Amino acid sequence: MQLQDILYSQGFGTRRVCAGLVQQGWVSVRYPLLSSLKDYTTCVDATAELEPEGLELRIQGVDWPYHAKAYVLLNKPAGTECSQKPSTYPSVYTLLPAPLRQRPTKSAVQGVQAVGRLDQDTTGLLLLSDDGHFIHRMSSPKKHVPKVYQVTTKHPVDSEQVSRLMKGVVLDDDPKPVRAAACDQIGDHRLDLTLMEGKYHQVKRMLAAVGNRVEALHRSRIGGLTLPPELQPGEWMWLSAGDLELLAHSS
C-alpha cells in the first residue's frame, strides 16, 4: 500500500495533501515490532510501498499508529452533544483529533460516529467508530448489549421503586413495559442501572415513572468494558484488541 494512501486512510487529508506531507519531509515511519525498523525513519517518497499492519506514523511530530478501522473510547463530559451539528452545546467530536473526524468512509458522512447517543448532561463511556457493523452490533437492542448507568436521584430510593424498575414500567410513547436488566441500590440516592436498550431519555423517564427524578447520570460500562478510571472527562483512547474482545463477548 502506498504511503500516501495509508495517510489518506487514516484521515490526514486528500491524497494530494498526504503526498505533500510526505514530500515535505513531515512523515516518519517505523515498525516497533521489527528490530531492524523500530526507529522512526523519515520517508519522502509518497508512492513508497509499505505494509500497513504494525506501522506507526509520525506526522508533523504527532505519533499515529495505523488502524484499518478506528475503535475509540471517549469519556464524555457534561455539556456536550453527541451530534455532528449540535444545537446548543459543543459537539463531542470537537474533543477528537482531526484525523478521526476526517477518516474516509463509504457513507456520506466521513469520520468516526458515536455508537448511540448520551444526553448533553450525561457523562461517561462513549464508543466511536467508522465500522458500521460494529456500530450496529453495539447499539441494536436486538443484540442485547448491557449498558450500566450510575444514577444519582433527587429523592431517596426505596425498595418499591427498585422492584418496579426490575418488573418494568410503561413509558408514555410505548405501551410495552421496559425494565432494567439489573438494578443495584448503592445508597439512599444512588442506583446502578443496567439496560439492554437505549430509548430516548430512557433512564430519566424510567425513574420519573416510579416517582423519582435523575439528578446526575454517568455511563460506566458497556458489555464487559468498563470506563478506565484514569481517563479524564474529555479524554479519548484507542480500544485495544483486549477491549474489543470484551465487547465481542457481550453481544
Residue 230 counted as domain residue: no
Classify 6 in phi/psi space as left (phi over 0), alpha (psi -120 to 50) or beta: alpha
Residue 78 counted as domain residue: yes
Cell of 56: 506507526
Grouping H, G, I as helix, E, B as strand and the rest as coil, residue 46 is coil
Question: Is the same domain home to 124 and 182?
Answer: no
Cα 162 to Cα 183: distance, rounded to the nearest angstrom? 6
Domain span including residue 14: 3-65
Task: Count CB-CB contacts under 10 A for residue 87.
Answer: 7
Residue 31 counted as domain residue: yes
Residue 111 counted as domain residue: yes
Quick one: pLDDT at residue 175? Answer: 80
For the chain, the domain total comes to 3
Question: Is the same domain home to 21 and 75?
Answer: no
Q: What is the pLDDT of residues 110-142, one digit of tens each?
A: 899 999 999 999 999 999 999 999 999 998 888
Q: What is the pLDDT of residues 165-181, one digit of tens each?
A: 999 999 887 788 999 99
Question: Is the same domain home to 93 and 114?
Answer: yes
Domain end position, chosen among 16, 37, 65: 65
Instruction: Look up the CATH number of the domain holding residue 26.
Output: 3.10.290
Quick one: pLDDT at residue 174? Answer: 75
In 3D, which of 166, 210, 203, 201 has the Cα closest to residue 184?
A: 166
Residue 92 counted as domain residue: yes
Q: What is the pTM of this model?
A: 0.93
Mean pLDDT of 20-47: 93
Q: What is the pLDDT of residues 57-88, one digit of tens each?
A: 999 999 999 999 999 999 999 999 999 999 99
Question: Is the same domain home to 181 and 196?
Answer: yes
What percentage of the chain carries pLDDT values higher than 90?
84
Q: What is the pLDDT of residues 195-205, one digit of tens each?
A: 998 888 899 99
DSSP state of 93: G
- Active-site annotation, residues: 119
Instruction: Look up the CATH number of the domain holding residue 157.
Output: 3.30.70.1560
In 3D, which of 93, 98, 95 has the Cα closest to residue 113?
A: 93
Question: Is the same domain home to 33 and 47?
Answer: yes
Sign of CA dihedral 91, 92, 97, 103: negative
Instruction: Look up the CATH number of the domain holding residue 92.
Output: 3.30.70.580
Quick one: pLDDT at residue 240? Answer: 96
Residue 190 counted as domain residue: yes
Q: End-to-end CA distance of the chain: give it in Å, rounded.
A: 33
In 3D, which of 237, 245, 10, 15 has the Cα closest to residue 128?
A: 237
Question: Is the same domain home to 138 and 241?
Answer: yes
